[in-house]
A and B are shown apart, each in its own frame.
Chain A
Amino acid sequence: MKRFYVLLLSSLLVVGAVAQNRIKGVVQFKETGTPIEGVSVSLTSSGKPVFTSRNGSFVIVTNESGDELSLVFTGGSIQTLYLPIRVTSDFTDLGVVSVVYDNSATIVDDAMLIMTETEFDTEGSSQSISGLLASNGDVFSSTAGYVFGTMRFRVRGLEGQYNSMYINGVLVNNAEKGWFSYSQVGGLNDMLRTRETVNGTESSSFTFGNLGGAQNINARASAIRKGLKVSQVASNSSYNWRTMATYATGLMDNGWALAASGSWRKGESGYVEGTYYDAYAFSVAAEKVIDNDNSISLTVMGAPTTRGKQAGATQEAYDLTPSRNIFGMLTGGLGNNYYNPNWGYQNGVVRNAKEVKAFTPIAIASHIWEIDEMSKLTTSFGYKCQMDGSTSLNWYNSADPRPNYYRNLPNYYYTMGDESSYTNAAAVREELWTTSESYRQINWDNLYATNYLANANGLSGRYMVENQREDQHVFTLNSVLNYKIDDQWKFDGGVEMQSTLANHYKIVDDLLGAEYWLDIDQYGERDNPSDSDFMQNDLNNPDRQVTVGDRFGYDYDIYANSAKLWGQATYSANNFDAYFSAQAEYSNFWRDGNMLNGRASEDMKQYTTFNGMAYSTSWLQTINGSYGASAVQHFLTYATKAGINYRISGRHILALNVAGGTNAPYANDAFFSQRIKNNLIPDLTPEGYISADLSYYFRTPRVNGRLTLYNTNFFNSKETSSFYNDEYNTYVNFAMYDFSKRYTGMEFGMEVDIIGGFSMSGVAALGQNVYTSNATATISYENGLEADTEETININGFHISGTPEVAASVGFHYFHSKYWFFDLNVNYFTNSYMSFNPLRRTDSAIAGLDPTDETDAALIDRITAQEKLSGGFTVDASIGKSINFNYKYFLNINLSAKNILNNNSLITGGYEQSRFSTTNSYTDRETYLDRFPSVYYYAYGTTFYLNIGFRF
């Protein structure tokens, strides 16, 4: 077998003879000489770290030599150290490497996790903000995650599905949507500190990788810092306080390692009113070293969370809301960009209509087999049980309960005309909005009163709170072989199999005092009142009366399976490393409806596809079934990548990576109206991509950093968005396909060690993320009021929304030998773009307008142009102090503040309202634009984060 690999790999690259050098040392605290376990040590030129053992020792094996090498020491609790070294023989003993205690890295981690675990709640989709946690030692990646996170910056613009997150070798990304939700591991910071990060498409030893990178968190018991750590956080951000405790035994003499961590995060009201937070987290891990070759481990983690969400609003609503200072006190003026329409008082208690009730326990069993000195086999089995719920108000033949419903604001009346009845009505709305909190927020007591009256009249509920559930059982089996063939050749490869059984449905969460809820669609009823079938959500159970806990509305399963086989060969020579990787993947998915929807009740026609090549093209008319299983969709995709690190010298390195391949579509992007029917978009052929990046790394004793140029092109991409349309009280789904996009730009990060504990950093990202073709879209009204249509969406040249394309930061850092540290960052962001309404980019949206006519041309521009958001500056600062008691007990106090200048006018993003029509006889296009302006989200003003930790 070994010979086979050698033969195989030898044929790929020419073998060159190189010497192998060993570098060893022991890492200790400077003051006490206490050895430190778990410090990451790597050659700056090659990047793959080794970790110090319990006695602080490490050994690095490398082909490099010379006097321009340097080592980087980094980890959760030491100040990152760059150590220039000279390698002149095949064995270099550095002796004792003294490092200084520093907790700032931990703070960055914590603060990032806070941002990432509070997912941003936008209409249509909820996306996690940051792809990966910061990787130690790379100033660009840590700044991009922490500092730029405020503005929802995405590294290289890439969305969550292009980053892969692994825990103990098991992929934890959502198989239906692609991205990983950090809230699933929120509050478990201490369990997530040891991790291996792959940036972009560089080589990786645990997975083939992903375009945006991959990360493998080692949450095995032995990887958790030994000892007891307790910490307390106070903040005015997502939550008000967090209590966390972690205990780990480290690897004990009997071969066992045990660890447990728990936390409680609680917020009465976050930075945004009504966004309360109540989350627990727990993790237990056990690991047993059986013999010299084998160890097994089990890690279980989960974070049951309840929190109130934020929603965006129009600028008018923000401007008319009384303003508050950073302590939440009314200032007497108007203007509050953090107005949140989601909450209101019930019996005097703040209640949020859009609550997240989520719990996703994860269990991972893992076996590590050190077959011999040269090979290691890591096999992991993971089970994830997702129980995600998101609540929302539902109403039936009653007034829209959302306080910022457009008719509750003056603007609607201004757009009606200038008759006095309209100006009077506008004045009434303005007075109510600016003076009455019960008008500006949800009036829960009124909703109950309406339901009580409906009870008295023998009617079903008029208002209720529903819970939209996304449940999953995910089974993953992953096996990775790391095989060092000889001094030059290394092989990594594995198999990864995953099976996801998902169930999507709504349950009645709270009837708000009503006796029951009738499971029919009110607009289906209104428009087709004599068709008693059309309005039914489940024809198998027509006119069903449901109560708390009952399923209603929609109920379907998604099955998604995949199997991957990948391999990577790495060749190391004196002055370069090169690798080549390839992966083949088979995947499938199908939908199985548990309800027979009255708007999609025709018999299903079974068509099968392979790689998206449909066997029928008349899809739109022929497949309209909702109940039962759809045909299985099969996909075969592949990926390849290759790269080279060329060491000009030990301190100057050039790295080039290229990648190309295909991605199977996600089920979430394939069924265009998946809540109610099995219909698939007509083009399911896999997405293709080609990507390249070129980096220059420089590591000199005082200055280190990197500059990267990257370009990634996607072809035949797919994307689904879903907007609530309050005109029809339904979701309108836009499934876009057959489009291309390009992410291109540069990344720069540099650290300069000045003198006496002072250092500076400079980080910049300049990118352009654009659609490079128009798209085709299927537009589908979930309540069936309009027939499904296919239209061209003219978005060639549009920018991909949700991230600033330009972000930069200059940081000043001071570390005093008495363990004081101080950081100050000045940051700048710009070139964010609004999420767009596809309806406004169809040909019909501008039909009848003459582009040569000045007035018409202006209107065309208003309808179709994508809004670019203005940028701005923020300043962040943090100060901290570590106190140790004989180096046995450590007390850390850190206070960090983000956006200390309280810049309240930074728009992070937003979306255009979905109401737009060219066929409405009462409302013309201009009125639509005036009446339904865009919704914006703003970056928080000043937020504080005080962390006091005690460790022993």
Chain B
Amino acid sequence: MKTNIKLALVAIAVIFITSCENRYAEPEYIIPSYELDTTKFTLMTIEELKALHTSGNVPDQAPDSAVIRGIVIGDDRSGNLYKSIYIQDETGAINLSIDKTNLYNILPVGQEVYVELKGLFVGDYVGLFQLGDTCTDATYGLEISRYDWGREYLVDEDGNSLKRFYTNGLPDDSQLPTPLEITSSNSITSDMYCSLATLQNITFAEGGTATWSASEETINKYATFEDGSTIAVRTSGYSNFYADTIPTGTGNLTGIIAVFNSTIQFYIRDRDDIDF
């Protein structure tokens, strides 16, 4: 009798254990690939796209059949960039203005990306060229509005996807363009805006004393090149390094050259960009 009970218990335990196995097969990892359908689209360079727009004007609609391609050079992983991504190709770089956080989980640094431009707009935010959505509200003036990422999941009446942003392959830092080497703020020209760059041999007056930023504030800290010219290094109080102390001495910073009106602003992407 006891043996039977034991056997029953064992059988039940076995049933239970086997029933606890993970029942869900992992989805296969399909490395994304994008092949340009040349019967429908033509590839446009970022420089050509930016040429469609004159800084200070209302956003311009991008051509329906054009596609741009670029490598992501700046994402929002550290929180220093917010709802924006920078991509660059051989001809130039542009900011993608997208109404979504944690974009780095889709478009990380080193990722090749294709953007089908139908329905998108190219414009500028006081000098910074952006790809995004138009905005008809007067309150927003000439500013481009952020692309609603929800549109990526829509389909049209015929069931065709309205997705615009496509990734190709895995992120690969070897695809990144060589950063521009900047040794003086005087050498920065407007065609460099949005590009990946390294500020060479700079010194922070507040090195060792101040932090990059303050909680929930965005603050400029000024660095001096060897020639005495200065540049604003702008840091968000939502970044994961804002409370770090600015390094002392002379070193290099890698990041994105941005502009606000006539002020050059430099954004580092994360702690790894600091080389002091």
Contact B244 A421 (CB under 8 A): no
The smallest beta-carbon distance between B140 and chain A, in angstroms, is 8
A351 with B99: CB separation less than 8 A:
no
* Inter-subunit contact A428/B151 (CB<8 Å): yes
CA distance A626 to B140 in the complex (A): 50
Binary A-proximity of B92-129 (CB < 8 A = 1, otherwise 0): 00000001111001101010000000000000000000
With A280-B15, A280-B16, A425-B150 in contact, do A419 and B105 touch (Cβ < 8 Å)? Answer: no
Which residue from B26, B145, B170 sits with its C-beta under 8 Å from A421? B145
The verdict on B267 contacting chain A, using a C-beta distance below 8 Å, is: no
Pair A436/B243 contact, Cβ less than 8 Å: no
Q: Is A399 touching B101 in the complex (CB atoms < 8 A)?
A: yes
Q: Are A453 and B133 in contact (CB under 8 A)?
A: no
Q: Fill in one digit per residue for A88-118: 1 if any B CB lies within 8 Å of its CB, else 0.
A: 0000000000000000000000000000000
Q: Does B242 sit within 8 A of A, measured CB to CB?
A: yes
B148 CB within 8 Å of chain A: yes
Question: A264: nearest residue on chain B (CB-CB)?
Answer: B15
A513–B102 CB distance below 8 A = no
Determine whether the beta carbon of B170 is less than 8 Å from that of A462. Answer: no
Chain A residues closer than 8 Å to B151, beta-carbon distance: 428
Report how far A375 CA is from B101 CA in the complex, Å: 73
* B29 A421 Cβ-Cβ under 8 A: no
Residues of B within 8 A of A439 (CB): 153
Q: Which single residue of chain A is at the shortest CB-CB distance from B101?
A: A399
Residues of A within 8 A of B77 (CB): 397
A852 beta carbon closer than 8 Å to chain B = no
A428 to B148, Cβ gap below 8 A? yes
Does A292 have its Cβ within 8 Å of any Cβ on chain B?
Answer: no
Of A351, A527, A529, most buried by chain B (CB within 10 Å of CB) is A529
Q: Are A436 and B153 within 8 A (Cβ)? A: yes
When the two chains form their complex, are residues A284 and B5 in contact, meaning their CB atoms are under 8 A apart?
yes
In angstroms, how far is the closest chain B Cβ from the Cβ of A920?
Answer: 12
Of residues 58 to 97 in B, which have CB atoms within 8 Å of A's CB atoms? 77, 79
Select B154's contact among A347, A397, A428, beta carbons within 8 Å. Answer: A428
Beyond the given pairs A347-B25, A398-B105, 15 more chain A to chain B contacts, judged by CB atoms under 8 angstroms and listed by A's residue number, are A280-B12, A282-B8, A347-B24, A347-B26, A399-B105, A421-B135, A425-B150, A432-B153, A444-B27, A450-B105, A453-B108, A453-B171, A510-B22, A513-B27, A531-B243
Give the nearest-CB partner of B243 in chain A. A530
Which residue of chain A has its CB nearest to the CB of B25? A347
Cα distance A450–B153 in the bound complex, in angstroms? 16
Q: Which residues of B contact A421 (CB under 8 A)?
A: 133, 135, 137, 140, 145-146, 148
Contact string against B for A residues 503-538, beta-carbon threshold 8 Å, 1 for contact and 0 otherwise: 000000010110000000000011111110000000
Q: Is residue B186 contacting chain A, with contact meaning CB distance below 8 A?
A: no
Residue interface bits B211-243, CB-to-A below 8 A is 1, else 0: 100010000000000000000000000111111
Complex CA gap A609/B229 in Å reads 67
Q: Is the CB of B29 within 8 A of A452?
A: yes
Interface size class of B (residues with CB under 8 A): 35 or more
Residues of A near any B CB (own CB < 8 A): 258, 260, 262, 278, 280, 282, 284, 286, 300, 302, 304, 306, 346-347, 349, 351, 357, 359, 397-399, 419-421, 424-425, 428-429, 431-432, 436, 438-439, 444-445, 448-450, 452-454, 456-457, 462, 510, 512-513, 525-531
The answer to whether B51 has its CB under 8 Å from any CB of chain A is no
CA of A453 to CA of B110 in the docked complex: distance in angstroms?
A: 12
Which residues of A are found within 8 Å of B29, using beta-carbon distances? 448-449, 452, 513
**Contact code string B146-171 (vs A, CB < 8 Å = 1, else 0):** 10101101100000000000000011
Given A284-B5, A510-B22, A513-B26, does the pair A420, B135 have CB atoms closer than 8 Å? yes
Q: Does B19 contact A (CB under 8 A)?
A: yes
Q: A357-B20, A448-B29 are in contact. Are A457 and B108 (CB under 8 A)?
A: yes
Residue of chain A at shortest CB distance from B111: A453
CA distance A397 to B22 in the complex (A): 26
Of all A-B residue pairs in the complex, the 6 with the closest CB atoms, nearest first, are A530-B243, A304-B16, A428-B150, A529-B240, A419-B137, A452-B29
A448 to chain B, nearest CB (A): 5
Per the bound structure, the CA–CA distance linking A436 and B151 in Å amounts to: 12
A428 to B: closest C-beta gap in Å: 4
Q: A399-B102, A419-B137, A529-B240 are in contact. Are A456 and B171 (CB under 8 A)?
A: yes
21 A-B contact pairs sorted by A residue (CB < 8 Å): A258-B1, A280-B16, A282-B8, A282-B12, A347-B26, A349-B24, A399-B100, A419-B140, A421-B135, A425-B99, A428-B148, A429-B150, A432-B150, A450-B105, A450-B106, A453-B106, A453-B108, A457-B110, A512-B26, A526-B238, A529-B240
